[in-house]
Amino acid sequence: MNDTFTDLNDLLLHRLDSFDEFTRRSLQIFAVLGFEFSFSEVLAIQCHGLDNAETSAHMKRIQEALDASVKENILEEAHSGEKRSRKNTEHTRKAMKRFSKTFKIVERQYTFSHAMWRNCVLGTMLNETERDIHRFIANIMEGDNYEVHSYISAMKLFHHWKASGDIMHASLLAMKIGKHLENLLLQHQVIDFYFEVISMWKDFSGDENEEDVIAGMGHGVLSRLTREELDCLARLHTSIAKAYANIGDGTNANLFYSNCDFILTNSPAAADLKDRTVFFILYSAQFGLLQSLDVKNKLVIQTELAKKFVEQAQIHGDPVHIARALAMEGLVLAGRGMFEDAIDAQKRLEKIYFAEKHSAGVINEYATDRAAQSYGYSVIWYATLGRHEECQAQIDFILDNLLPKMPKKNVHNSFMILFQSLWVLKDRGHVRLAEFVFVKHIYDRFNEYYSKGSSTFFYVVYEPIRVLLRLAVESKEGKDTDERKRKELEGWILSEDFFVGSPGKIRAIPMCSLGRDPHCIIAEICLLLAAGRKTFDERRMQLLRKGAEEANKSNKYTQCNPGYAYSQKQSLSIMGEIQRMIML
């Protein structure tokens, strides 16, 4: 017999052939489980559905297969004390606990000694067989509620569903995982993960030679979608678009919202959708993004979106969507400077919206409570019209009734409700209250719930707002800022890499309708720091010049839209103070 092999793969296959059928079959399961796996994972799969007597006999054969594989250097055993083993402990704990109740077993971790071995074992299976094993494993894991047990196990389950070819199962689970990442405000991870999920739809479409139409979707894929698949695919696109918007990438956000619109428009299944909330989510998101963009005919486009939204919401009849539609209508009217009409829309919203009853539903559909946020916008509308008593009543309602009913972790939602009130309170001499509620509901909450790498759309302005309000409190109360702290703040605000370069228009524009844009915030920080200096020196002039520059930028933004009247008043006031100090 000639045992000389010219091909390494032939040698590996020859060594696999020396095993009995059970061991070869077990190796295939090991390979499908992954490059590394645990003893309890193997037992959960290979002993599934067996009674105790059968399980006992099967466990013995599994251990023999593992030992033989280790002896042949196909597998390596990683002892429980190793770091690699500890990583999988949470994932395998449930399976381990189940078997240890009846059988005396010791948890072990195994890895393939080399990727070549795993690839060789996988190569011994037909693609259909490998997919079947992945599906079998996924069904068992899902039956054990692995998808909610831990992030690691959820990702393992996702990859098994993906490899099984069941893209619907994989996508539905992926949306849960993506929601988990969204709640942690890990926007870049959300984008990377959803890219992988969306790519599955093309990979498993069978249209390898079809020319892509948009977002990697060919006409053949779109024509075969069921209504459930269409709804899922559309929501994936709105989710990735939202993540792009949250990091300030309006171009890609708009691209994926447009892709979603394309998919819904070109898929025949859209006509069969009984639950049409995905359209509301899309219209709402597109409208919100337009608030941040400087595009031609912006108000015309927003008006059309709002009109479609209101019509569809009235037909749908759900107060959750009607409230969102009325909030959208109010913003359109305010954007045209029609503040009286915007307030009328707000009053209609207040007749049907009750936070304790509807807020959770609005957040579930739109990620934040767009209806509650309309109360915040209306503060600016009342203030612009000089209706001061109604303005104060709205602020009191927000602080005493609305904010306490909002989820604490949804910091962006709290920001959108509270931001407008900060400047009205400050202008009326209640700057200490403004500082207190901002730090309590936004600044401290973000630091309490989120870690480094987390971000919200307006996160970059949190620190400047905190600094401005602190300086304003000290100025009003006649207190001097600590000298060391003052120098630190001056260096920060005058540095070339200060934050204002990164937000750009996508954040400055929507803040104009909120009562203050970031340039105006920076301008007043410069003004207060300059006013607090004891000497009329070059540093003071640097601060005033920087403040004037930022106030000018603010004025350019705020003068281009009648809906920005309150913000423009803020800009002009700061500019006037800076010019007065320069002339001293």
* Structural domain range at position 108: 8-126
**pLDDT at site 351:** 96
Is residue 428 included in any domain, yes or no?
no
Question: Is the predicted pLDDT of residue 149 greater than 70, yes or no?
Answer: no
Cβ(33)–Cβ(91) under 8 Å?
no
Q: Which of 174, 184, 180 is CA-nearest to residue 410?
A: 184
Q: How confident is residue 233, by pLDDT bands cut at 50, 70 and 90?
A: very high
**pLDDT at site 422:** 98
Is residue 108 included in any domain, yes or no?
yes
Question: Is the predicted pLDDT of residue 234 greater than 50, yes or no?
Answer: yes
Taking residues 424-450, report their average pLDDT: 96
Amino acid at position 231, single letter: D
Q: How confident is residue 500, by pLDDT bands cut at 50, 70 and 90?
A: very low
Question: What SS3 class is residue 217?
Answer: strand
What is the C-alpha to C-alpha distance for residues 574 and 568, in angstroms, rounded to an integer?
Answer: 10
What is the C-alpha to C-alpha distance for residues 265 and 445, in angstroms, rounded to an integer?
Answer: 41
- Say which residues have a Cβ less than 8 Å from residue 274's Cβ, sequence separation at least 6: 227
Q: What is the pLDDT of residues 240-249, one digit of tens each?
A: 999 999 888 8
Average confidence score pLDDT of the chain: 87
What is the C-alpha to C-alpha distance for residues 2 and 353, in angstroms, rounded to an integer?
Answer: 83
Is residue 575 included in any domain, yes or no?
yes
What is the C-alpha to C-alpha distance for residues 437 and 433, in angstroms, rounded to an integer?
Answer: 6
Percent of the chain with pLDDT over 70: 89
β-sheet with 109-112: strand ranges across: 36-38, 109-112, 75-78
**What is the β-pairing status of strands 109-112 and 36-38?**
antiparallel
Query: Which string of b and e fits 377-416 if b means at least 16 CB within 10 Å?
Result: bbbbbbbbbebeeebbebbeebbeebbeebeebbbbbbbb
Taking residues 561-572, report their average pLDDT: 94
Domain end (from 94, 126, 158):
126
Question: Is the predicted pLDDT of residue 337 greater than 90, yes or no?
Answer: yes
**pLDDT at site 272:** 85
- The DSSP letter of residue 272 is G
Radius of gyration of the chain (CA): 30
**pLDDT at site 213:** 58
Question: Is the predicted pLDDT of residue 288 greater than 80, yes or no?
Answer: yes
Q: How confident is residue 86, by pLDDT bands cut at 50, 70 and 90?
A: very low
**pLDDT at site 566:** 96
Q: How confident is residue 324, by pLDDT bands cut at 50, 70 and 90?
A: very high
Taking residues 303-316, report their average pLDDT: 82
Is residue 156 included in any domain, yes or no?
no
Is residue 102 included in any domain, yes or no?
yes
Q: Which of 8-12, 66-70, 332-336, 576-580 has the lowest mean pLDDT?
A: 8-12
Q: What is the pLDDT of residues 380-389, one digit of tens each?
A: 999 999 999 9
Taking residues 118-127, report their average pLDDT: 91
34 or 205: which leads in pLDDT: 34
Q: Which of 298-307, 411-420, 538-547 has the lowest mean pLDDT?
A: 298-307
Token reading at 23: 């061991």
Percent of the chain with pLDDT over 90: 58
Token reading at 420: 């407008």
Question: Is the predicted pLDDT of residue 152 greater than 70, yes or no?
Answer: yes
**pLDDT at site 81:** 44
Q: At what angle do helices 227-246 and 277-292 cross, to 10 degrees?
A: 20
Tell me how far the alpha carbon of residue 158 is from its chain's centroid.
Answer: 19
Question: Is the predicted pLDDT of residue 563 greater than 80, yes or no?
Answer: yes
Question: Is the predicted pLDDT of residue 80 greater than 70, yes or no?
Answer: no
Is residue 79 included in any domain, yes or no?
yes
Domain end (from 126, 154, 186):
126
**pLDDT at site 84:** 44
**pLDDT at site 82:** 44
Is residue 63 included in any domain, yes or no?
yes
Cβ(418)–Cβ(434) under 8 Å?
no
Cβ(493)–Cβ(545) under 8 Å?
no
Question: Is the predicted pLDDT of residue 224 greater than 70, yes or no?
Answer: yes
Taking residues 297-302, report their average pLDDT: 82
185 or 326: which leads in pLDDT: 326
Taking residues 235-239, report their average pLDDT: 94
Is residue 526 included in any domain, yes or no?
yes
**pLDDT at site 119:** 92
Q: Which of 322, 227, 339 is CA-nearest to residue 278?
A: 227
Cβ(65)–Cβ(71) under 8 Å?
no
Question: What SS3 class is residue 118?
Answer: helix
Domain count, the chain: 2
**What's the farthest any 2 CA atoms get from each other in the chain?**
104
Domain end (from 84, 108, 126):
126
Question: Is the predicted pLDDT of residue 212 greater than 60, yes or no?
Answer: no
